[in-house]
Structure 1
Amino acid sequence: MGMFSESVDVDCTAGGEPIGLLWAGRSYAVCAEPVRWYERRQWWAEETRAPLGSGPGVVDHEIWRVQVLPSAPVRVAQAAEPLTLDLTRHIRSGRWRILRIHDALRPRTA
């Protein structure tokens, strides 16, 4: 699993659930139900103060784990295995970032 932060364009349902994304010039479709959770961030290290009532987005990160497949398959072998990504959305700006790329869950050969 790699961890980093890279900007990504995400298409969402009216309820805010990711359904597709554009990353590195390639379109991907979400192929399994996304999972959402929240993680605490060290806001005191990044913000001088937290305005009253600004908890969402300041104290917690909204994280979505999605499995995606290329919308237009490049190769059949690539299209058969989904890529698992953790995405986060910045509450104030609405911008999305990729936080983690998970290794494919498949048996390893020696």
Structure 2
Amino acid sequence: MTATASETTLDAPVDIRFTAAGAPLAVRYDGRVWAVAAEPVHWFSRDSWWETRRNATKGSGDLVSVEHWRVQVRLGSSTSTLRTFELRRDPLAEQWLLESISDS
């Protein structure tokens, strides 16, 4: 499946390669490697725990912090058009999700 700018929510699993400092370096999506081509933006939001009804035992970790990255990427080392990927990792998840793609 190839995403277009009109798609708002994909929630597609992706693999991310990070720098030693912890910033995204490349994203593997749909069998292609997209290189990060600009300074990424990083933030956290809070999960609506009252809706998910997650139960946790004491010491199980952070159940509410959702991690996000907004990265501008292009295919490999090409000079292709920049695209913006919104990435998300839910609390306690190990898998990153591609939330959306836009042209810019």
Normalising by the smaller structure, the TM-score range is: 0.7 to 0.9
Calculate the TM-score normalised by the size of structure 2.
Answer: 0.78
| Moved >6 Å (runs of 4+) | none
Which structure: larger Rg?
A: 1
- Relative to total residues, which structure has the larger helix share, 1 or 2? 1
Calculate the TM-score normalised by the size of structure 1.
Answer: 0.74
Give the alignment partner of residue 30 of structure 2, picking from 24, 29, 48.
Answer: 24
Report the CA distance between 1:90 and its aligned residue.
4.2
Report the CA distance between 1:13 and its aligned residue.
1.1
Identity level (%): 33
Q: What's the C-alpha RMSD, in Å, of the aligned pairs?
A: 2.1
| Partner deviation per Cα, 1:64-110 (whole Å, 9 max, x = no partner) | 0000000064xx6xx0x2110110134534221111222x24xxxxx
Structure 1 counterpart of 2:3:
none
Counterpart mapping for 1:24-103 below 5 A: 24-52=30-58, 54-55=61-62, 58-71=63-76, 73=78, 79=80, 81-90=81-90, 92-102=92-102
Q: Distance in 2 between matches of 1:43 and 1:91?
A: 10
Going from structure 1 to structure 2, the CA distance change for 1:87 and 1:59 (only over 3 Å counts) comes to same
Contact 1:43 1:59 in 2 (8 A): yes
Tell me the number of residue pairs that the alignment of Structure 1 and Structure 2 aligns: 97
